[in-house]
């Protein structure tokens, strides 16, 4: 049985059973159960017929392959992330100036922090802005020159990134998370994880981040990590040829992307578990953890920022929080929920507009990216908060004022109730929302996590400043009773962290991973409770407007087939399966006798389904099994003549003439009663990972339901 | 369909289908699928027939119940843990002396650290040992008096704990983790999570920890946390009456036990995910995280040790590790694996001896505990490392020498190559192994995590001291090339941490949770890599001798039914289901016609199975459905006479006389082909959580397999 199913499996390349409602013909579902069987029989073959210790050695060598792949992936991801950090920082700083005397080719290869290492920000003589280099004299001409270079370099970076992606690897565009979610959910997407995608996405990401557009590198880094693992997997046939093992390895690798993006290995593992992975057993968790940690340690060893910190915006606070602060924290949570909803709605509206024929940039994706980049640069340059790169902005917003030595953003100006700063923070948050909504989804590598964090940090810090000013003005209010007199009581930086967490929760609807990522960023249990409260409130508020986060929304928008595990209640409550299955009368079935090779060939031509139930006869449709299109095509090889009788024999006897299809028929398809409730079928697809279910009533075929039908049904029910 | 299944469910109290191979008649399996249906229909009933906002409010109120329960559980667990910490510390210190002038009733209620707050350990005048209080003069009599009190108080504490447990709540004995694993795997155990168990386990735990025996409070705290949640759940009928929701809530609560035991909320969540829980969706993870964090924050707010640290043995290191140290770390990992195997083998051997009739303490559990406590005390008193409480010992072993201000254990004596200390550490580790092996499983609340950590820390520190001494003696060896000259290079405390992690991995076979717990204890990413390497090596070494950790071993030993998800490969590879199912010929089936109430009553009396397949007739055994024993008993109520014909009607007509069993028959049982491979059935039981599977061939009943049969089959295949 096993050997047979193994052999058959090798030649079987199933595609979708019913292609009728299909938009993405390239996407195929995998059958987890068959893949696991394949792996089991492969292991048995590997171990068979050898003495004990040889078998042990072989099995050990085989299972060590996946660890080698993961460790190498971790090292590769850590190194790539360090490279992207260094390159995008240098390119980004180039927008404002150059290190050293550029005419004599000074240390132009240094980014601003290294050029001015140790010196105060304003007094760094080595760093020259473009206006200084070109010798602009008046303050107006200085402003113009700097503005021009800022715009020009932003534009060039963004356009290059877009051209790279569109020309060489369209799969490398956008964040890649919706695609990875679909892929890990058990579907096959071609060319999505190749070498070319890896290279283009990495290069494009440097340029995109440097362009200063409202995008992050977190999502794309997850994609890069999966590409690394996928490329390395090609050296191990045992993994590469098994779609289920491939997915387990990719789940593990995905964690390393988030690990290096946020310096949060555990956060990465939980992100993979909570957001990405369909099936995540213990073993995958450990693999994931190993990969994430190796990546983080590699990044720390390379230390691209030369700060000893894993990521730029890692912080430590000097004081705790007070109970009364829970009130602003809840407010921040509510705003985070609204941000998430507003962002998703605006983003979707923009992308629906893009699809219309009157859209000006229709079929001009590079021009579109350039226009958005130009708009971003035009708006950002005059506003100090927006001129900085997102990661630098977030770092500043998270920090306590006493830790900020180079306050070039003007965040910590003296004086109580600095309404100017508060207004500017809120204004920047608004601009950020608008820009993020039009940027996410363009033809450029672009993530949404860092922009969300930046917006959250902006409005969070604004609220923090308001509370701080209020407390300083009226320290004797009962509300502020727990503050010590004449001591700073409110730390606006913590509000920024809480705001960032709340905004992330609103956008992605994750919970644990966000709290853990923030916990690893701040390194103290102290702030876990406020972050948790804000995340929970943000999720509640956002969920009240619709359960789907940005990634699920994009999965629906793109029409990817995907079974969302979180859509647990509601849909199809009272539905009985017999209402939604394709009924027997509409199915193309093969009777066990009476067919010829010719009639079967005609059947293949006339129907586009991916497989056929086999029944005793049309008069008595008792289910005998299921034969896939490919098996049928295979069995009807060229040298079989059209008039050869084909049959499925119950008891093989040697004297029958014709073609016995029995060896190609799967005789144990999963069957259910058509009277079972809908959720049971859903559980079967979701938890067992089957690709199709046949329905029988006392042995008689009643209908068929495929995973993709179910996905589309759920999708249409939701939207 | 739903309403019916809901109503039927309410009266149905299924027990095991086949009781034949059963040792624990009290343990019943739950049917996850039915429980989820129940919950779905409950929610629909709750929301039905109200206007939109009333429905929303009702649903919100309903779903907030679980959060209230979890937050309250967190607060309760944090408070109980603080209470246990304070009480057991005070009681434990009582073995060595009393604070203040006991005759005048001084501050006797203070444990030693509070009595001597701020003063060096040796110079604390307020703390009086028993010999000082009783005025012993000679050094011999001082030793004797102190020894006597040490023995006596140990003995009293241990005996009291044992008497408490045996007299008032036998469920409170031991660690409780194997039982919780079984319970969360989908089985019902009575009285295991009641108020009485909660109180007795908490009190017993204080006494047991204070007795100085080789046991920890981590496992029992998980049990306590589950008891808290279970007691609080009784106030919410919606959760209390649904076994699946109950399990989700308990999974979440379990995390808080580990959270307060190690001060590691994320570690707790991952422990629950990796070790305990059968089914752990996203929602449970977030619930678990909330509960664990609330518990940790409560404990931190109560601050029982007045150190500001969450647990006693939280540490921070001043320096990193060097590449060459990976060699000793791997050695530590190997030893950790061996420790795990040795502990499990010794523990099992001891408990098999206990079952023999010639065992001296047979049926005298209190005497047995007292004897072990006495033995522990006799051995421990002369050895400074063992005299300390486990948590204090671990704290000392983890610390860097420069951070230890009160070195009363003599761990940091000056001088290179202190062979005495090294020998004593290794000797203590050996004693620890022996004592832990006979202590775990006695009739007393006792966990194994802290003893494992202590043994690991002991031998880890010993290896650290060896490496340190070697490096100091021969600093110019190439091996030590990465050390800076004249600087301390090796930190023995880190070896203790790595050793503790390795020993934990050897005992429990967990991976991620251990690393995360250690990460949260040391708070630095720096040491994650060595810990990871040691844990991985320990797991590999231990797994080479047998895949089962201590908890799984106990589950087998106790004959609890449990489907171990980790036993993925190997067992039953080539097996076809038809070889292991109960075949049709051996099943008691009910035909659709021809039975009378009397014949069915006889059937109920003559068979002990928990349900019956319903077939058309014995001649044509086409499966119609399945009726459980309870439903059958219910339908054959008293007022039905023995000669009433009973039947299962296909098409209900009103003019038939007799009892139609159809309303009680489950017409959509899960069926499979008897030719499916074994692992598919296993996946079905494991992932869908069904309780029994019927096998049909073209509609004809072929056999039946229950979850418990499968558990026992797997169990016997492994041992």
The whole-angstrom distance between residue B301's C-alpha and the CA centroid of its chain comes to 26
CB contact under 8 A, A683 and B688: yes
pLDDT for the residue numbered A19: 30
pLDDT at B417: 56
Picking from A76-80, A501-505, A553-557, which range would have the lowest pLDDT averaged per residue? Answer: A553-557
B675–A673 C-beta distance less than 8 A: no
Any chain B CB within 8 A of the CB of A699? Answer: yes
Chain-chain contact of B671 with A673 (C-beta, under 8 angstroms)? yes
Alpha helices of A584-641 — where are they, by DSSP H?
A: 597-606, 629-635
Of B273, B296, B573, the CB nearest to A525: B296
Q: Which residues in chain B touch residue A624, judged by CB atoms under 8 angstroms apart?
A: 698
Q: What tokens were used for A336?
A: 């985070």
DSSP collapsed to 3 states, A330-399: HHHHHHHHHHHHHHHHHHHHHHHHHHCCCCCCCCCHHHHHHHHHHHHHHHHCCCHHHHCCHHHHHHHHHC
The C-alpha angle A380, A381, A383, rounded to 5 degrees, equals 70
Check CB contact of A295 with chain B, cutoff 8 Å: no
- Output the six-digit token pair for A355: 């699809």
Residue B679 to residue A5: CA distance in whole angstroms? 14
Contacts of A700 (CB under 8 A, 6+ apart): A620, A621, A622, A623, B699
How far from B172 is each of A472, B249, B292, CA to CA, in Å?
54, 20, 22
B40, A569: Cβ pair inside 8 Å? Answer: yes
Searching chain B, which residue's CA lies closest to the CA of residue A277? B282
pLDDT surpasses 70 at A239:
yes
pLDDT single digits (tens) B370-407: 889 999 988 888 888 888 888 888 888 888 877 776 66
- Tell me what percent of the residues of chain A surpass a pLDDT of 90: 12
Pairing of strands A187-188, A28-29: antiparallel
**CA-to-CA distance for A193 and A197, rounded, in angstroms?**
6
Highest mean predicted confidence (pLDDT) among B75-84, B103-112, B532-541:
B75-84
Per-residue pLDDT averaged across A4-32, rounded? 40
Facing A684 at nearest CB: one of B512, B623, B688 = B688
pLDDT for position A501: 93
Report the chain A residue with the minimal C-alpha distance to residue B544.
A56
A52/B contact by beta carbon, under 8 A: no
Place of tokens 């206990």: B354
B468 Cβ contact list (under 8 Å, min separation 6): B489, B490, B492
Judge whether A445 and A172 are in contact, CB under 8 Å: yes
Whether A289 has its CB under 8 Å from any CB of chain B: the answer is yes
A541 CB-contact burial (10 Å; exposed 0-12 / middle 13-18 / buried 19+):
buried
Contact A515 B289 (CB under 8 A): yes
Give the tokens for residue A553.
């929304």
Q: Which residues of A touch B282 (CB under 8 A)?
A: 274, 511, 565-566
Structural domains in chain A, CATH included, are 47-302 (1.10.3080.10), 323-558 (1.10.3080.10), 577-718 (3.10.580.10)
DSSP state of A611: E
pLDDT in tens, B681-712: 777 777 777 778 888 887 788 888 887 777 77
Here the tokens at position A13 are 């390349």
Q: Cα separation of B698 and B622, whole Å? A: 9
Decide: helix, strand or coil at residue B144. helix
Q: pLDDT higher for A240 or A119? A: A240
pLDDT of residue A653: 62
Contacts of B311 (CB under 8 A, 6+ apart): B261, B262, B263, B391, B521
Neighbours of B705 (CB within 10 A): 25
Q: Within an 8 Å CB–CB cutoff, is residue A670 touching chain B? A: yes
Which residue of chain B is at minimal alpha-carbon distance from A671? B672
Look at B677 and A1 and tell me if their CB atoms are within 8 Å.
yes
Q: Hey, what long-range contacts does B656-661 have (CB within 8 A, 24 or more apart)?
A: B659/B597, B659/B635, B661/B590, B661/B614, B661/B627, B661/B632, B661/B635
Residue A119 has pLDDT above 70, yes or no: no
CB contact under 8 A, B668 and A676: yes
What pLDDT does B719 receive? 47
Q: Between chains, do B623 and A289 touch, taking CB under 8 Å as contact? A: no
Residue B618, CA distances (Å) to A353, A543, B584, B590, B596 in order: 67, 55, 10, 8, 15
Q: How many whole angstroms separate alpha carbon A121 and alpha carbon B42? A: 63
* Residue B104 DSSP class: G
CA angle centred on B658, ends B657 and B662, rounded to 5°: 115
Residues in A closer than 8 angstroms to B571, CB to CB, are none
Residue A466 C-alpha, separation from nearest chain B C-alpha, in angstroms: 27
Q: Are A9 and A40 in contact (CB under 8 A)?
A: no
CA angle B236, B242, B245 (to 5 degrees): 85
**Residues of A with Cβ-Cβ distance to B574 under 8 angstroms:** 1-2, 44
More confident residue, A682 or A564: A682
pTM: 0.80
Given a cut of 50, whether residue B483 has pLDDT beyond it is: yes
Which residues, other chains included, contact A58 with Cβ-Cβ below 8 Å and sequence gap of 6+?
Answer: A46, A47, A50
Could you tell me if A364 lies within 8 Å of chain B, comparing CB atoms?
no
Q: Per-residue pLDDT averaged across A247-272, rounded?
A: 88
CA distances from A545 to A441, A510, A542, A549, A685 (A): 22, 16, 6, 11, 28
Q: Do A525 and B672 touch (CB under 8 A)?
A: no
DSSP class per residue in B263-309: T-HHHHHHHIIIII-S---HHHHHHHHHHHHHHHHHHHHH-TTSSS-
Average pLDDT over residues B451-476: 88
Structure-token pair, residue A524? 């103290």
**pLDDT attached to residue A652:** 59
Residues 304-333 of A with CB under 8 A from B: 310
Nearest CA-CA distance, residue A677 and chain B, Å: 8
Q: How far is B426 from chain A (nearest CA, A)?
A: 31
Which A residues 231-270 touch B at CB under 8 Å?
263, 265-266, 269-270
Specify whether the CB–CB gap between A211 and A161 falls below 8 A.
yes
Band of residue B15 on the pLDDT scale cut at 50, 70, 90? very low
Q: Enumerate residues 6+ apart whose C-beta is below 8 A from A190.
A: A26
Mean pLDDT across B579-596: 82
Contacts of B515 in chain A (CB under 8 A): 289, 293
* pLDDT for the residue numbered B6: 29
Residue B216 in 3-state DSSP?
A: strand
CA angle B62, B65, B69 (to 5 degrees): 165
Please give the structure tokens belonging to residue B368. Answer: 């047995």
Q: What is the ipTM of this complex?
A: 0.76
A671, A675, A687 ranked by CB distance to B687: nearest:
A687
Cα separation, A575 vs A565, in Å, equals 18
- Would you state the pLDDT for residue B11? 27
Q: Which residues of B touch A296 (CB under 8 A)?
A: 525
Would you call A274 and B290 a contact, using CB atoms and an 8 Å cutoff? no
Tell me the nearest-neighbour CA distance from A297 into chain B, angstroms.
8
Q: For residues A42 and B9, which has the higher predicted lDDT (pLDDT)?
A: A42
The pLDDT of residue A480 is 79
The pLDDT value given to residue A331: 92
Would you say residue A663 has pLDDT above 70?
yes
- Which residue, A516, A72, A519, is CA-closest to A294? A72
Q: Is A687 in the B-facing interface, judged by CB distances under 8 Å?
A: yes
Q: Give yes or no for B532 touching A (CB within 8 A).
A: yes
Q: Are B630 and B709 in contact (CB under 8 A)?
A: no
Helix axes B218-233, B52-94, angle to 10 degrees: 140
d(CA A648, CA A663): 9
Quickly state the pLDDT bin for B563 (edges 50, 70, 90): low
Q: Is A684 near chain B, with CB under 8 Å? A: yes
Q: How far apart are CA B473 and CA A588, in angstroms?
A: 83
> Which residues between 609 and 668 in chain B have a beta carbon less than 8 angstroms from any beta carbon of chain A?
622-624, 667-668
The two structure tokens encoding residue B670: 């899960």
């Amino acid at each position: 049985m096993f050997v047979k199913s193994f052999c058959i499996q090798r030649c079987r390349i199933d595609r979708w059973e019913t292609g009728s409602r299909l938009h993405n013909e390239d996407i195929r579902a995998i059958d987890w159960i068959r893949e696991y069987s394949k792996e089991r029989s492969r292991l048995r073959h590997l171990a068979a017929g050898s003495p004990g210790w040889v078998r042990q050695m072989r099995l050990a060598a085989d299972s060590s392959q996946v660890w080698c792949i993961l460790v190498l992936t971790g090292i590769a991801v850590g190194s790539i992330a360090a490279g992207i950090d260094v390159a995008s920082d240098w390119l980004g700083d180039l927008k404002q100036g150059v290190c050293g005397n550029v005419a004599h080719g000074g240390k132009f290869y240094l980014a601003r922090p290294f050029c001015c290492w140790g010196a105060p920000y304003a007094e760094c003589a080595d760093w020259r802005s473009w206006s200084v280099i070109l010798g602009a004299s008046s303050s107006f001409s200085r402003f113009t020159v700097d503005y021009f270079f800022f715009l020009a370099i932003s534009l060039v970076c963004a356009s290059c990134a877009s051209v790279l992606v569109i020309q060489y690897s369209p799969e490398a565009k956008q964040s890649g998370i919706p695609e990875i979610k679909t892929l890990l959910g058990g579907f096959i997407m071609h060319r999505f994880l190749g070498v070319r995608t890896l290279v283009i996405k990495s290069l494009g990401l440097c340029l995109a981040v440097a362009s200063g557009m409202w995008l992050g590198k977190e999502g794309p880094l997850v994609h890069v990590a999966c590409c690394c693992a996928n490329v390395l997997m090609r050296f191990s046939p045992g993994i590469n040829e098994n779609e289920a093992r491939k997915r387990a390895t990719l789940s593990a690798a995905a964690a390393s992307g988030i690990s290096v993006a946020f310096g949060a290995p555990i956060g990465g593992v939980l992100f993979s578990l909570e957001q990405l992975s369909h099936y995540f057993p213990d073993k995958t968790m450990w693999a994931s953890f190993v990969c994430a940690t190796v990546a983080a340690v590699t990044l720390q060893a390379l230390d691209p920022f030369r700060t000893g910190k894993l990521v730029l915006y890692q912080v430590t606070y000097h004081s705790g929080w007070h109970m009364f602060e829970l009130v602003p924290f809840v407010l921040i949570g509510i705003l985070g929920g609204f941000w998430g909803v507003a962002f998703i709605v605006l983003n979707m509206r923009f992308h629906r507009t893009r699809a219309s024929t009157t859209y000006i940039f229709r079929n001009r994706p590079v021009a579109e990216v350039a226009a958005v980049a130009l708009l971003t640069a035009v708006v950002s340059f005059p506003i100090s908060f927006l001129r900085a790169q997102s990661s630098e902005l977030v770092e500043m917003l998270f920090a306590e004022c006493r830790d900020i030595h180079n306050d070039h953003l003007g965040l910590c100006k003296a004086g109580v109730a600095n309404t100017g700063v508060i207004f500017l923070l809120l204004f920047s948050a608004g601009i950020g929302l608008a820009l993020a909504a039009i940027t996410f989804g363009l033809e450029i590598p672009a993530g949404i996590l860092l922009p969300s964090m930046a917006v959250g940090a902006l409005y969070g810090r604004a609220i923090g400043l308001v509370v701080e000013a209020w407390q300083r003005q009226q320290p004797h209010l009962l509300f502020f009773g727990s503050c010590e007199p004449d001591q700073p009581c409110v730390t606006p930086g913590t509000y920024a962290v809480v705001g960032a967490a709340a905004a992330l929760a609103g956008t992605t609807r994750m919970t644990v991973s966000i709290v853990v990522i923030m916990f690893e960023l701040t390194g103290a249990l102290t702030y876990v409770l406020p972050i948790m409260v804000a995340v929970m409130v943000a999720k509640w508020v956002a969920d009240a407007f619709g359960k789907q986060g940005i990634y699920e929304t994009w999965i629906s928008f793109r029409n990817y087939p995907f079974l969302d595990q979180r859509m647990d209640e509601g849909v199809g409550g009272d539905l009985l399966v017999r209402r939604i299955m394709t009924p027997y009368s509409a199915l193309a079935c093969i009777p066990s006798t009476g067919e010829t090779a010719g009639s079967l060939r005609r059947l293949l031509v006339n129907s586009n389904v991916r497989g056929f139930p086999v029944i005793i006869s049309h008069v008595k449709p008792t289910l005998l099994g299921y034969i896939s299109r490919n098996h049928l095509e295979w069995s009807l090889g060229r040298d079989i003549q059209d008039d050869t009788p084909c049959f499925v024999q119950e008891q093989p006897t040697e004297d029958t003439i014709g073609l016995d299809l029995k060896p190609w028929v799967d005789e144990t398809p999963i069957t259910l009663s058509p009277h079972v409730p809908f959720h049971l079928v859903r559980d079967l697809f979701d938890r067992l990972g089957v690709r199709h279910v046949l329905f029988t009533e006392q042995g008689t075929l009643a209908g068929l339901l495929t995973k993709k039908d179910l996905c589309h049904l759920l999708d249409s029910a939701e939207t």
